[in-house]
């Protein structure tokens, strides 16, 4: 799927300008316009990410450890993107403290997600060191 960056920028600017204009005229329609623009752009992002995920699956399908690492990395990227989106919404709504708490929770979730990978890496290093006699 080929996406034209100019079209994406145009869609984003029209959505943002529409929301801004509605804020002045009919405030109750501002949020639905913002959400529609956001969901539209995120849908395109998901469609654009399909080939990346497919390529990563092929690349990391070479060994079980690499496959596990790819899964963890892709999930961490997803967590980071969703956390950022959620925190941006919270800031837009005027509650930066909730946005900061959400970002902290996302970081902790990514750390917890990476623990099995860290354990595997440490086991591998330990095994290599014991084989070399160190």
The per-residue pLDDT for range 68-119, each reduced to its tens digit, is 777 888 889 889 989 998 898 888 888 999 999 999 999 999 999 999 888 8
Q: Which of 19, 39, 38 is CA-nearest to residue 30?
A: 19
Give the model's pLDDT for residue 106. Answer: 94
Q: Specify whether the CB–CB gap between 34 and 63 falls below 8 A.
A: no
As a whole number, mean pLDDT of residues 57-74 equals 72
Q: Between 107 and 59, where is the model more confident?
A: 107
Q: Is 19 exposed, middle or buried (0-12, 13-18, 19+ CB in 10 A)?
A: buried
Give the model's pLDDT for residue 51. Answer: 84
pLDDT for 31 beyond 60? yes
CA-to-CA distance for 77 and 6, rounded, in angstroms?
A: 25
């Amino acid at each position: 799927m080929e996406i034209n960056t100019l079209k994406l920028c145009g869609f984003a600017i029209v959505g943002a300008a529409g929301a801004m204009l509605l804020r002045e005229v009919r405030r109750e329609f501002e949020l639905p316009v913002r959400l529609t623009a956001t969901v539209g752009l995120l849908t395109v992002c998901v469609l654009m990410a399909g080939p990346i995920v497919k390529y990563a699956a092929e690349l990391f399908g070479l060994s079980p450890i690499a496959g596990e690492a790819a899964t963890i990395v892709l999930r961490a990227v997803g967590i980071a993107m969703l956390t950022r989106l959620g925190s941006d919404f919270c800031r837009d709504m005027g509650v930066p403290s909730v946005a900061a708490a959400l970002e902290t929770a996302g970081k902790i979730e990514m750390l917890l997600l990476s623990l099995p990978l860290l354990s595997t890496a440490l086991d591998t290093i330990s095994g290599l060191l014991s084989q070399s006699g160190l």
